[in-house]
Amino acid sequence: MSKLNALIAGSTGYIGIQLVKLLTKHPNINIKYLCGNTSIGKSINYFDKSIKNKKLPKIIKFNNNLLNEVDIVFTALPNGESQKISNKLLKKNTLIDLSADFRLNSANEYLKWYKIKHNSKSNIKNSIYALPEISKTKLKSYKIISCPGCYPTSILLPLIPLIKNNLIKTTNIIIDSKSGYSGAGRGVHKKYAKKNLYESLSAYGIGFHRHNSEIQQELNNCTKKNIEFTFTPHLTPMFRGILSTIYLDLNKNISIKHINSKLKNFYKKDLFVKILPINSNISTNEVINTNYCHISVCKSKHKNKLIILSAIDNLIKGGAGQAVQNLNYYFGYNVKKGLV
């Protein structure tokens, strides 16, 4: 069986490590290069002892010549760095980016939210915001596959079908999301050293978290109406997982059964989205170490209101797993490869 050669840039971060684990199980992928800046010469096993594959290459510094020898480039880098690599891509390369560099359709919006000037504006048109269940049929037309952020993944999967079908009011949507601290990257331990990270719950980015931008962009793409929502993220004393609680107002004559049925029908062919029975109590525990998103539609004490729960593993469905899922759709592989 012929294999595609892959390079992972940013291979030692939490997302990079998870990506290595998934791709080593993928029968169509050969990990040819692992790249990093401060870990050159080390084995990936140094960063995660559970990786037992001794055939994996040692970590090297990225250089443009490596692009001649690979088909796919995965970038799990700090924001701004994937743009540099995108400018050097060869015709044979496909870039699957896990940073925010190509999530926004406007360089001005990117500057506004990330405070970084976009240095690959011409490549924005060559990229697609790739939430797999929504964009899977469109991927082949693009050279750069931009994977959504972890919070937006948990939020957009339940909301997009409802907004597309005009089932909910597009004002006063309240989103309360809680994430494991791995979502903040390896630097989280230093950043929150004085905040008792392992025993406390912290709200952050209140009102202006960067993920507001891509949530707004993608929800606005669903309808001509103006989408109004409030999003507040929280950091929890667990390593991984996201639980988003979304409060909605129903449109007239729309029942909870209709909402649940519509979601089930929308995702009936999508392996990794599970719509659970109405009023199911869900937790991150059921999705940890998987590429699944569990969604539960719940009654509110108010007749025309609804509560939706959405749970994912931020490092897999909200990160590396989503990248592999996009890889499978892009190259026509079975969607389960590397993931189940």
So what's the pLDDT on residue 191? 67
225 and 83 within one domain: no
Task: Answer yes or no: 147 catalytic.
Answer: no
Q: Would residue 171 count as lying in a domain?
A: yes
Q: Would residue 41 count as lying in a domain?
A: yes
180 and 82 within one domain: no
Q: Would residue 339 count as lying in a domain?
A: no
> Which tens digit of pLDDT belongs to each residue from 202-242?
999 999 999 999 999 999 999 988 899 999 999 999 999 99
User: Which residues are within 8 A (CB) of 330 and not within 5 positions of it... i.e. 6 or more apart?
Assistant: 94, 96, 139, 140, 145
Instruction: With cut-offs at 50, 70 and 90, classify the pLDDT of residue 2.
Output: confident
So what's the pLDDT on residue 323? 98
99 and 75 within one domain: yes
Q: Which of 150, 222, 293, 298 is catalytic?
A: 150
So what's the pLDDT on residue 208? 93
Sign of torsion, CA 128 172 182 22?
Answer: negative
> Which tens digit of pLDDT belongs to each residue from 304-327?
999 999 999 999 999 999 999 999
Query: pTM of the full predicted structure?
Result: 0.95
159 and 137 within one domain: no
Does the structure show a pLDDT above 80 at 185? no
Instruction: Indicate the residue type of 13.
Output: G
So what's the pLDDT on residue 184? 76
Q: Would residue 340 count as lying in a domain?
A: no
Does the structure show a pLDDT above 90 at 40? yes
Q: Would residue 165 count as lying in a domain?
A: yes
267 and 195 within one domain: yes
Structural domain for 71, as ranges: 4-148+318-331
Q: In this structure, what CATH number is given to the domain that contains residue 235?
A: 3.30.360.10
Lowest mean pLDDT among 1-5, 230-234, 278-282: 1-5
So what's the pLDDT on residue 183? 83
296 and 156 within one domain: yes
Q: In this structure, what CATH number is given to the domain that contains residue 69?
A: 3.40.50.720
The DSSP output letter for 95 is E
So what's the pLDDT on residue 115? 96
Q: Would residue 183 count as lying in a domain?
A: yes
Q: Would residue 206 count as lying in a domain?
A: yes
Does the structure show a pLDDT above 70 at 68? yes
183 and 292 within one domain: yes
Integer Cα distance of 288 and 256 in angstroms: 27
Number of domains in the chain: 2
Instruction: With cut-offs at 50, 70 and 90, classify the pLDDT of residue 53.
Output: confident
Task: Identify each DSSP E strand in 139-292 by its residue range.
Answer: 144-146, 173-180, 202-203, 229-236, 242-249, 273-275
So what's the pLDDT on residue 100? 97
Can you tell me the mean pLDDT for 139-154?
A: 97
324 and 182 within one domain: no
Structural element, H or E, at residue 266: helix 256-266
282 and 156 within one domain: yes
Instruction: Indicate the residue type of 98.
Output: L
Lowest mean pLDDT among 107-111, 180-184, 246-250, 267-271: 180-184
249 and 198 within one domain: yes
113 and 260 within one domain: no
So what's the pLDDT on residue 133? 98
Q: Helix, strand, or coil here: 180? A: strand
Can you tell me the mean pLDDT for 13-33?
A: 97
So what's the pLDDT on residue 190? 66
98 and 221 within one domain: no
Integer Cα distance of 232 and 178 in angstroms: 9
Instruction: With cut-offs at 50, 70 and 90, classify the pLDDT of residue 192.
Output: low
Can you tell me the mean pLDDT for 94-98?
A: 98
> Which tens digit of pLDDT belongs to each residue from 238-278?
999 999 999 999 999 999 999 999 999 999 999 999 999 99
Instruction: With cut-offs at 50, 70 and 90, classify the pLDDT of residue 189.
Output: low
So what's the pLDDT on residue 194? 66
Q: Would residue 80 count as lying in a domain?
A: yes
